[in-house]
Amino acid sequence: MKRLATSLVLIPAITWLILAGPQWALITVLAAIGLLAFREYDQIAASHDIARAGLPGMAAGLALMLAPAPGIIAVLAALAAMALALRVVDVASAMACAASFTLGVLYIFGSLRCAIELREMNHHWLMFALLLSWAGDTAALYIGRAFGRHKLAPRLSPAKSWEGAAGSVAAGVLAGGVYSYYLLPGVPLRWVLALAAAGNVAGQVGDLCESALKRGAGVKDSGTLLRGHGGWLDRIDSSLFSVPVVYALLKLLPR
C-alpha cells in the first residue's frame, strides 16, 4: 500500500513535468533527484570502506548534467577524482576512491543528462523510455509473485525470477508499442518494439546492478525517503539504464 501511494504521487507529477512542464522545472527536479540519489550512492560506497565523493562529486555531477560540453566535463571529472583520491590515508584505496567518484558521476548525472537531451529531442521519447521501466517493474512484481519459479539472480536479488523478467519485457514492449502508436506516429512498429525490448532489458540490468552495490554493502535499500520504495536510487535505478540506452539507439541507429 505504501508503495502504491508513493507511485500515485510521483508518477503523475513526473508525467506532467515531462509532457507539459517547462524545461527549467524538469531540469531543476532532475538535479534535485540526482543529488539525493548520489548522496545515497555515496553512502553505499562508504559501506564498502571507500572514501565518499561528497560535495566535489555532487558539483562534478551537476556540471556534467548541465554544462554544454559533457564529454570534456566527464574527462575533467575523472581527473578530479584521481586528484582528490590523493587525500586518502591508505594509498592502496586511492584507485577505488577515484573509480567510485567517477562511476557515481557518470552513472547518475550522466544518465540524467541523457534524459534532458532525450526530452529536447521529443518529450514523448522520454516518456516512452520511462514507461518501459514503470510498466515492466509493475509486471515483474505481480507476475513474479504469481508464477515465479526459477530464480533470475539469487545472489543479487532472491525475489526476482525469470518468469517476472519475461513478464517485464512483455509489459514494456506492450506499453511502448501502445504509447508510440498514439503519440509517436510515423515511427515504424518493428523499430519501436525492438527499442522497447532493449530499453526494458537495460532497465532490468540496471536494477540488478544497483542490487549488487547494495548487497555488497550489506544494505537492503539505498535510503528511506520514499515510503515503500526505499531511496531515490532504488526508485530510478532501472531508468538510469533504460533512458541512456533508448537515447543512444535513437541517436546512433537508422530507422
Give, as one character, the DSSP assignment of residue 188: -
Grid coordinates given for 104: 557515481
Number of H helices, E strands in the chain: 11, 2
Per-residue pLDDT, 204? 96
At residue 230, the 3 state secondary structure works out as strand
Cα torsion through 182, 24, 242, 208, rounded to 10: -140
Per-residue pLDDT, 28? 96
Per-residue pLDDT, 255? 66
Per-residue pLDDT, 212? 92
223: left (phi over 0), alpha (psi -120 to 50) or beta: beta
User: What is the C-alpha separation between 246 and 133, in angstroms, rounded?
Assistant: 12
User: What is the C-alpha separation between 119 and 97, in angstroms, rounded?
Assistant: 33
pLDDT digits (tens, 9 = 90+) for 10-55: 788 899 999 999 999 999 999 999 999 999 999 999 998 899 999 9
Which residue in 116, 179, 126, 104 sits closest to 15, CA to CA? 126
Tell me the pTM. Answer: 0.91
Which residue in 110, 84, 109 sits closest to 96, CA to CA? 84
List of the chain residues with pLDDT < 70:
1-9, 221-229, 255
